[in-house]
């Protein structure tokens, strides 16, 4: 830690993490120092928000980054001064579509957070087959477990569209964990959601046949990414048959056959790779949801924004 005495108090910088806070003097009133931090003796130093480490101004992008990070699950309900300290440590980066952000087995330098665009997390085999872990939408934290334990990435992250991500170095993330109990709880909640999702994916892969896995995939997409339209639900981004095959662990020919059956029955419709589920009740029946013992929640209504914040991936 580096400490510097100022008129307002003590400026504290953790050089290894890049996080900077200003610690006000005990006699300073709350009204003089702004909103109360979640850890009271720390307050974000405004210079860390206005300037990059190279001294160049980045004030135009920082307010937008604070707003974006507020919508990421691990930063929910953090005080603005806590968020400002985090924003001062992140590095926004742009990626073209179909670009690898990181690769499975590669070294993890920190936590990647998706700000704009879409990213696919997946495993791949030597023969080129893929197993999709998740389609990540904005405000998702990618590979949170690897960022926390510092081990290699367990999946590859590839952009599906032009995307913007920010990198929070592991040292900065661990500093936040040590100093902010609310962030700690948010991280625990996110890790629990990730473990639950992966456990359900394993159960579906082992207990369902190919048709059941495809229907479960569609129900999952509706739950996590669905937008209500009339009496149905539209998946909020383009999904190819190959995407569904990779997410379900089946061949693309099987996906074509099952989707064709569901289209003829009037259960789903596809237009320009956008899937609309016209009848959720009939899709649940086709997936034998009433007889299924898995507590997946995929057969419920579309989550919308609240659900996407709750179940954001990493």
Beta bridge partners of 4: 11
pLDDT for the residue 38: 34
Cα(138)–Cα(313) distance, integer angstroms: 10
Residue 84: pLDDT band with limits 50, 70, 90: confident
Tokens at residue 100, please? 């690898």
pTM beyond 0.75, yes or no: no
pLDDT over 60 at 161, yes or no: yes
pLDDT over 80 at 131, yes or no: yes
Q: What percent of the chain has pLDDT over 70?
A: 74
Provide the phi-psi class of 249: left if phi over 0, else alpha when psi is between -120 and 50, else beta: left
pLDDT for the residue 314: 43
pLDDT for the residue 60: 43
Cα(109)–Cα(171) distance, integer angstroms: 9
Cα(293)–Cα(44) distance, integer angstroms: 48
Mean pLDDT confidence for 279-283: 86
Q: Which of 50-54, 128-132, 141-145, 299-303 has the lowest mean pLDDT?
A: 50-54
Residue 184, classed as helix, strand or coil, is helix
Cα(124)–Cα(122) distance, integer angstroms: 7
Per-residue pLDDT tens over the stretch 6-61:
444 444 454 555 555 444 333 333 322 233 333 222 233 333 333 334 444 343 44
pLDDT over 80 at 186, yes or no: yes
pLDDT for the residue 273: 82
Mean pLDDT across the chain: 77
Beta bridge partners of 183: none
- Contact between residue 69 and residue 113 where contact means Cβ atoms under 8 Å apart: yes
Nearest to 103 by CA among 90, 119, 89, 117: 119
Tokens at residue 51, please? 């300037």
pLDDT for the residue 202: 84
- Contact between residue 69 and residue 87 where contact means Cβ atoms under 8 Å apart: yes
- Can you give the residue ranges of every domain in the chain? 2-87, 91-201, 208-303
Per-residue pLDDT tens over the stretch 87-116:
888 878 999 999 999 999 999 999 999 999
Per-residue pLDDT tens over the stretch 190-232:
999 889 888 888 888 888 899 989 999 898 888 888 888 887 8
Backbone angles phi, psi at 214, to 5 degrees: -65, -45
- DSSP secondary structure, 201-252, as one string: HHHHHHHS-HHHHHHHHHHHHHHHHEEEETTEEEESS---HHHHHHHHTS-H
pLDDT over 60 at 4, yes or no: no
Mean pLDDT confidence for 114-142: 91
CATH of 208-303, one of 1.10.40.50, 3.40.50.300, 1.10.10.10, 3.30.1550.10: 1.10.10.10
Distance of CA 225 to the CA centre of its chain: 12
The 10 Å Cβ neighbour count of residue 83 is 21
Tokens at residue 113, please? 């957070």
Cα(113)–Cα(197) distance, integer angstroms: 19
pLDDT for the residue 3: 46
Beta bridge partners of 197: none
- The class that CATH gives domain 91-201 is mainly beta
Residue 167: pLDDT band with limits 50, 70, 90: very high
Cα(38)–Cα(54) distance, integer angstroms: 29
Tell me how far CA of residue 306 lies from CA of 110, 185, 223, in angstroms: 26, 18, 11
Q: Do the domains 91-201 and 208-303 sit in the same CATH topology, yes or no? A: no
pLDDT over 90 at 271, yes or no: no
Per-residue pLDDT tens over the stretch 244-257:
999 898 999 999 99
């Amino acid at each position: 830690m580096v400490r510097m005495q100022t008129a307002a108090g003590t400026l504290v910088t953790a050089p290894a993490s890049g996080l900077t806070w200003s610690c006000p003097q005990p006699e300073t009133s709350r009204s003089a120092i702004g909103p109360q931090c979640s850890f009271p003796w720390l307050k974000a130093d405004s210079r860390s928000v206005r300037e990059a480490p190279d001294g160049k101004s980045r004030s135009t992008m920082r307010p937008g980054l604070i707003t974006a990070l507020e919508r990421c699950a691990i930063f929910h309900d953090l005080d603005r001064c806590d968020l400002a300290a985090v924003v001062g440590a992140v590095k926004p980066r742009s990626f073209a579509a179909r670009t690898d952000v990181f690769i499975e087995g590669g070294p993890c330098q920190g936590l990647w957070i998706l700000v704009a665009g879409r990213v696919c997390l997946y495993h791949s085999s030597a023969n080129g087959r893929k197993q999709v872990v998740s389609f990540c939408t904005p405000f998702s934290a990618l590979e949170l477990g690897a960022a926390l334990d510092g081990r290699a990435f367990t999946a590859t992250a590839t952009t599906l569209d032009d995307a913007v991500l920010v990198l929070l170095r592991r040292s900065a993330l661990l500093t936040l964990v040590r100093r902010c109990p609310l962030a700690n709880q948010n991280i625990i909640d996110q890790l629990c959601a990730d473990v639950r999702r992966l456990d359900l994916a394993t159960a579906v892969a082992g207990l369902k046949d190919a048709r059941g896995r495809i229907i479960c995939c569609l129900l999952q997409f509706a739950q996590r990414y669905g937008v209500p339209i009339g009496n149905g639900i539209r998946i909020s981004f383009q999904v190819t048959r190959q995407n569904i095959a990779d997410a379900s662990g089946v061949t693309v020919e099987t996906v074509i056959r099952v989707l064709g059956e569901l289209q003829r029955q009037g259960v789903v419709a596809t237009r320009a790779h956008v899937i609309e589920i016209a009848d959720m009740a009939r899709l649940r029946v086709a997936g034998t949801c009433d007889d299924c013992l898995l507590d997946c929640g995929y057969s419920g209504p579309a989550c919308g924004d609240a659900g996407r914040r709750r179940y954001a991936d990493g």
